[in-house]
């Protein structure tokens, strides 16, 4: 069942809310940016995401095919979410679950994690080694 969470960066300048069901899964990827930033995400459809404040504080980083906007706070540097578009999902947000303010350790522990081999553009498969993600 979906639950509405409020999320924020470390300094609190970027704040958002989103409705998601953590029991439907989260993911960790071994692509260059996710592995370096230790990004743990849950996918949220655009209708279930709202930026509350901090648009001016957000910095946008894109690389490769420029398909995903990787947003981070320009003050504290925390990557709060990304935004992209895929044919099967439409526009979506990839929310950093560790930025959800009210999420409990129990909820995070129970959330299923799918590992993605983004380094080889094989998003449907887990990489051969994933324990470091």
pLDDT at residue 64 in the model: 79
**Mean pLDDT score across all residues of the chain:** 93
C-alpha to C-alpha distance for 24 and 1, rounded to whole angstroms:
9
- Within-domain flag for 49: yes
Domain that holds residue 64: 13-113
- Within-domain flag for 126: no
- Within-domain flag for 102: yes
- Within-domain flag for 129: no
> What are the phi and psi torsion angles at 110 (to 5°)?
-85, -15
Pair 99, 8: CB distance under 8 Å:
yes
- This prediction's pTM: 0.91
Q: Which of residues 30 and 4 earns the better pLDDT score?
A: 4
- Within-domain flag for 100: yes
- Within-domain flag for 119: no
Query: Is the per-residue pLDDT at 132 higher than 90?
Result: no
Q: How many domains does the chain have?
A: 1
Q: What is the pLDDT of residues 47-83, one digit of tens each?
A: 999 999 999 999 999 987 788 899 999 999 999 999 9
Closest by Cα among 87, 85, 98 to 34: 98
């Amino acid at each position: 069942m979906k639950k509405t969470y409020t999320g924020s960066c470390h300094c609190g300048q970027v704040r958002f809310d989103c409705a998601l069901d953590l029991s439907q899964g989260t993911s960790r990827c071994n692509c260059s940016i996710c592995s370096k930033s230790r990004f743990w995400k849950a996918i949220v459809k655009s209708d279930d995401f709202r930026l509350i404040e901090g648009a001016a504080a957000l910095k946008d980083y894109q690389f490769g095919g420029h398909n995903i906007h990787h947003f981070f706070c320009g003050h504290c540097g925390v990557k709060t979410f990304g935004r992209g578009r895929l044919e099967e999902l439409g526009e979506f947000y990839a929310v950093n679950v560790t930025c959800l303010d009210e999420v409990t350790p129990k909820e995070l522990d129970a959330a299923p994690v799918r590992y993605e081999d983004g380094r080889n553009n094989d998003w449907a498969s887990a990489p051969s080694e994933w324990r470091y993600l």
